[in-house]
Amino acid sequence: MKKIYLAVTFIFLSFFKFPAIFAQQFPVRDGRIVQISEDSSGSLLSVSDNSSIIVYDLSDYSQICELYDEKVSKMSFYEEGDSKYFAVMTKDGQYIVRKFYYSDGQWHYEDGEPYFYADCADKTGKKSLTAVSFSNNSDYVAASFNDNTVQVHFRLRVTAGSISHSITTHKAPVFGLEFSRNGEYLATVSTDGIAYIWNSYTSSLITRITGVYARARVPVCFTEDSVYIVSLEGRNTFRISDFSGNTLYSILAGRPITAIKPLKDPDLIAVRNDKNEVMVYSISSRRPVSVTSVSSDSEFTSFEFSLRTDVMYAGFADGKVTLLEPHPYMDDTSMLVTDSTMTGTGNVYANRFQSFSISAGANYLNKPYLISANLRGEYLYSDAIAPFFIGGGMFCSVGFPGKDFPASYKIGEQQINPPELLSAGAYVPVGYVFSPWDNDVYILTNFKAGMKIAALAMITSNGSVLDTPYYAFFMSIGAGMQIKGFVFDINCEYDTVGKVSPSIYAGCIFKWGAKK
């Protein structure tokens, strides 16, 4: 048996304000730390690897017992009366509830048969499990299978049996199951990015949420007070929704998100990123309030916060569990992406990016000219000012005369076409960008102002003649869309010579520094 260290650090200020640091070691079985769970009163702590679970008394960090449950998917404590129970769900569908009791100043594990046991695997052996979960009071157990179905079991405490319901709505494999803290609701999410919220007891549908970012395999969950729904919206973005499916807030985390965990304070959400940081966000302010940076030679595998969120348990692949102190988050580069109480629209998301686009377009010109062919290059910047942007652009165009051009031209006896209208200009665009659907589709509204130079040009096979150019003030207002690598927009343009003309552009866009 390998010794695995649970380093416990308490920091306090003495009269001289020197920190005191204590560490304690515990013998635990070999293995990668998979799950860490603290009870709601801060009395017990459970730590699991792939082959066992050890339960500690947090008053002195002494080991209470070791439970040989393998491949734990979820574990948690709950209370009924004066008794404390410990529920475990394994990845193969074994659901076990055990009882703990407090006597003679110590916590004890009740040996013998489990308080409750159920096998949630498919009895026929034809279907395999894709996800499992249970409610915090152990009343409900859910299991999803590779045929896209979900089984929800309501535990009958008197008969030790259960009532089961089947959910067959999903059209893709289900990878996430989570119950609300009060056990009333179940969230299911599948690989097609569709999540459903169900009534746990009746399995009736409450709401549907689309656009869940499924690649990270982060389950949809609930805040601790069971009031809001939390889901991953993009690679770097999570959102808060109500039970009507409306997005209330969408919050940019700045880094790819690998895990989301509601904390015991219902206003707080812990978000883990790919940089081995755990950021704690406040829902009310939509801002990070603390950050815990995990530094270790071993892979960071699991985390849990204490009851007061003042320390975080971090588990590693080498079997160590360390207590870390979160630090106040000072550099608030994370931003509020959506606040429906401010915008009045439920599903609007802003994004930070830089882009360059090349577009071809056309203007409908005033007589005697008919239409122009245009080429435009445009740079946009929104990194520090999102959802607003600013940039720079240049364009050139050739205007073609209409059939009823008021004059005809000859060189010698040869009839030639009327002159084209050549123009070019530079401008500064400013505007607002948002996305009402998802982070791959942007809507832009813009205002542009700049200078324009234009001249009549007569171009023939025998040579060309360019008239004296004129200069004009140029401006336009417009709206457009960016869809992945493509962009198009429509505008109403004005210059002091040619007056008002509508235009349309379409082209390709190149983005960098995008933060969703």
CATH superfamily of 23-328: YVTN repeat-like/Quinoprotein amine dehydrogenase (2.130.10.10)
Cα distance between residue 427 and residue 444, in whole Å: 17
Which one of 1-10, 218-227, 400-409 scores highest in mean pLDDT?
Answer: 218-227
Q: Is the pLDDT of residue 145 over 60?
A: yes
**Count of residues making up the chain:** 516
Q: What is the pLDDT of residues 194-209, one digit of tens each?
A: 999 999 988 999 999 9
Q: In what order do the strands lie in the sheet with 237-241?
A: 221-222, 229-232, 237-241, 247-252, 336-339
- The closest of 488, 59, 438, 459 to 212, measured between CA atoms, is 438
Widest CA span in the chain: 119
Cα distance between residue 433 and residue 419, in whole Å: 40
Q: What is the pLDDT of residues 170-192, one digit of tens each?
A: 999 999 999 999 999 999 999 99
Domain 354-405+417-510, CATH 2.40.160.20 — does that match?
yes
Q: Where are the alpha helices (DSSP H) in 300-411?
A: 340-343
Q: What is the pTM of this model?
A: 0.62
Give me the amino acid identity at 368.
P
pLDDT of residue 3: 37
pLDDT band of residue 21 (cuts 50, 70, 90) is very low
Q: What is the pLDDT of residues 80-137, one digit of tens each?
A: 877 899 999 999 999 999 999 888 888 999 888 888 888 888 888 889 999 999 998 7
Higher pLDDT, 26 or 65: 65
Cα distance between residue 133 and residue 125, in whole Å: 20
Q: What is the pLDDT of residues 306-358, one digit of tens each?
A: 877 788 999 988 888 888 889 888 764 444 444 443 333 334 444 567 889 99
Q: What is the pLDDT of residues 277-288, one digit of tens each?
A: 999 999 988 889
Instruction: For Cα atoms 305, 311, 314, give the angle at the middle one, nearest 5 degrees.
Output: 65
Q: Is the pLDDT of residue 413 over 50?
A: yes
Q: Kindly list the domain boundaries of the chain, sorted by start residue.
A: 23-328, 354-405+417-510
Cα distance between residue 75 and residue 44, in whole Å: 12
pLDDT of residue 433: 86
